[in-house]
Amino acid sequence: MEIIQQLKKLGFNEYESKSYTTLVQNGTSTAYQVSKISGIPRARIYDTLESLVEKGIVLKEEFEKSMVYSPLPVEIFLQKTLEEWKKTFRTIDMGLRELEIKQQNSTDNKVYTIKNQSTILNYCKELINKAEKRIVISFWSDMYELLENELKQIDNHVKIQGITFHVDSLLTGLEKHRITSYTESADSDHWFILSIDSKEMIYGPSLKEREIAYYTDDPIHIRLLEDYIWHDVLVNRLVKQSDENLEQWISSGRNQFFIED
């Protein structure tokens, strides 16, 4: 039952979740009735109901010399749960941010791995929103489309630079990479790079190929990859302005440099 799994996420164990939902569905009941309907062993039902009584989720009263149990009305239960969740969230939020500030003040630079597409995208969006002066990117169309809205929202007060692949509608400051045999090759790597203020960076392969990325605040790491993007922009501009056919020369040089075993 899906509701049982969701209640467990709120901190209730399985027996507590089954007891409360049984009472909501059937109304005031004895412990025996709750046990019979829910399938909770009779040896556990009393402890379970008492636990819910202590949490204020179940009401207990004597009726005709027997103890009966009633569920806290759903509306009140939901409001109580929401308020407790908000309080817990605020406590966690303050505690974690304090720890993060202490860690950020450390002189040690970091490089760590991030997995899962939604987590990677959330990291990227967080970095974009943190940017104060400058963002440098190297995006293929798939990554650009996923983050285009965030980039547009800060384009009026943050300088966005870099290069894109197969993107037609570009923000000012971005360069469109020319079409080459390499960009059209099925073997080409669709890496993405996102750097903010030359302080933090996240990069990785296409999320369609592998849901993994790397975060770093190491200045040498960031300088190298920003320099890589600049060289890509520079070569792209030189080739476009040249009257000579340089694509074959570039392709040949690339093949000689990246020799495959």
DSSP assignment letter at 124: H
| Tens-place pLDDT, residues 219-231 | 999 999 999 999 9
Q: What is the DSSP string of 93-104?
A: HHHHHHHHHHHH
> Tokens in use for 17?
């979740």
CATH code (residue 227): 3.30.870.10
CATH code (residue 31): 1.10.10.10
Q: Which of 50, 72, 94 is the last residue of a domain?
A: 72
| Tens-place pLDDT, residues 89-107 | 988 988 888 777 776 666 6
Torsion sign across C-alpha atoms 240, 245, 249, 252:
positive
Residues 166-191: what's their mean pLDDT? Answer: 82
If asked whether residues 48 and 119 sit together in one domain, one would say no
Domain membership of residue 58 (yes or no) is: yes
Q: Which residue has the higher pLDDT, 253 or 42?
A: 42
If asked whether residues 118 and 184 sit together in one domain, one would say yes
Q: What is the pLDDT of residue 69?
A: 94
CB-side neighbour CA atoms (13 Å) of 201: 25
pLDDT over 60 (residue 260): no
In the chain, alpha helices (H): 2-9, 14-26, 31-38, 42-54, 74-104, 117-130, 141-154, 181-184, 219-241, 247-257
Total domain count, the chain:
2
- Domain hosting 159: range is 109-243
If asked whether residues 134 and 218 sit together in one domain, one would say yes
If asked whether residues 134 and 236 sit together in one domain, one would say yes
pTM, to two decimals: 0.60
If asked whether residues 132 and 187 sit together in one domain, one would say yes
